[in-house]
Structure 1
Amino acid sequence: MRKRIFQIIEVGEENDKLSRAYDFFMMATIIISIIPLWSHKELTVFNIIDIITVIIFIADYVLRLFTAGIKLKRGTISFLLYPFTPMALIDLLSILPSVTVLKKGFRLLKIFRLMRTFKVFRIFKAFRYSKSITMIVNVFRKQKDSLVVVCGFAVAYILISALVIFNAEPETFPSMYDAIYWATISLTTVGYGDVYATSVIGKFITMISAVLGIAIVALPAGIIIAGYQAELEEHKAKRE
């Protein structure tokens, strides 16, 4: 029974109709659970949605804890390790904010508003119910070394550019924080216009920063696209 429950609650095979139905049901529940976040009003219908969806999330969490031994394959200790896995923590963060709704006596407004922000983590629960999202996560996992190098290069470039503009225009950039903010905006070629260079040398540095920023931003995009293409080919090979 535990094995069959595990097959159903995990992202199932295409020929497992019950598993696919469960995935669809949970995706719909996640989407519905986020509806109250679109309004600051405390409507009765929102409270009902919150109560129903959190009960479903709790049931899902219990089932996953019940089948933790099959997922982690660590024996009895799996039941102790599972609550500390990334997805289990996200599940808890998506459940805890609604506990205040189920307990009528626990209505501290400030704590409730603070905890409501954690409901955003319900979006991340969708990761385990979609093969496409799982493939994208696998791409980031497999390409993490290359992405870390690119991110490190981008951070180094931001700091160097900030240091250069900070010394080139001390009047325009009174603090290093302002210079780092400018360098980040220039790197991403956004250009909000709230902080900008005014001198000739400063404008020249900005042009160089913007041009090089295009190349730096394009690097991770190319890595992710190549990795996703490889993941698609691997997925097709498994299906064949």
Structure 2
Amino acid sequence: MAAPASPTPRRVALGVSLTAVAGGGAQARAGAAGHVVLLGDSIFDNKPYVAGGPDVVGHLRSRLPAGWRATLAAVGGSVTADVPRQLASIPAGATHLVISVGGNDAGRQEGVLANPARTVGEGLAQLASMADRFRQEYRAMLDRVLARRIPMALCTVYDPRFPDPQRRRLAVAGLTLFNDVIGREAFQRGLPLIDLRLVCNEDADFANAIEPSVQGGAKIAAAIARFAQEPEPRPHRSVVYGGSAG
């Protein structure tokens, strides 16, 4: 299978300064070997779903320059509150962190979509409360990770591929709330964002309804490799990695 084209970064002007950790990878970006660590859930820890093919971290190792390393600290089934415990697996000398988490948080709340509501406003209030809880947990997690002062990127949650069209439609709508939290936190803190909804945009990118396939993992790894090798970011700019270059 041919390697997918590297996702094109989209630069978005923001009225905030880049977080202090954004410049911590200058040595790696200047030519020294880097070390990328993946945190989060089974979007990265997808080896059980690729039938012996390369997983995300395997693809990433093949895409990084000679001398660079990649470490998998993500654990399948993890939710946002689990990520701080994964920090113990970050090796000394790590130069870049990438976090992909939130899908399992959303999955645990899927039952909210079946709750009765007398009005549209009442239903929206239930969804807003769900989003508020996730925002608190995600912010607390980011505070813990940013304390390591290692350059990092965040990932959105991609659109699942449930066979039932109605379940898929509702899941995508519900995930919008979670992805809004992730995107806002990235932009407010001046962090790069990898939008997996745009990266994994084909059914063949999925091994099942919610896990990346070999093809999907290759596309995710391409986006991560592009982030890790970017030159020093300009102040007041955030970079969004989305679809493949044409």
Structure with greater contact order relative to length (CA < 8 Å, sep ≥ 6): 2
TM range (shorter): under 0.3
TM-score by length of 1: 0.24
TM-score by length of 2: 0.24
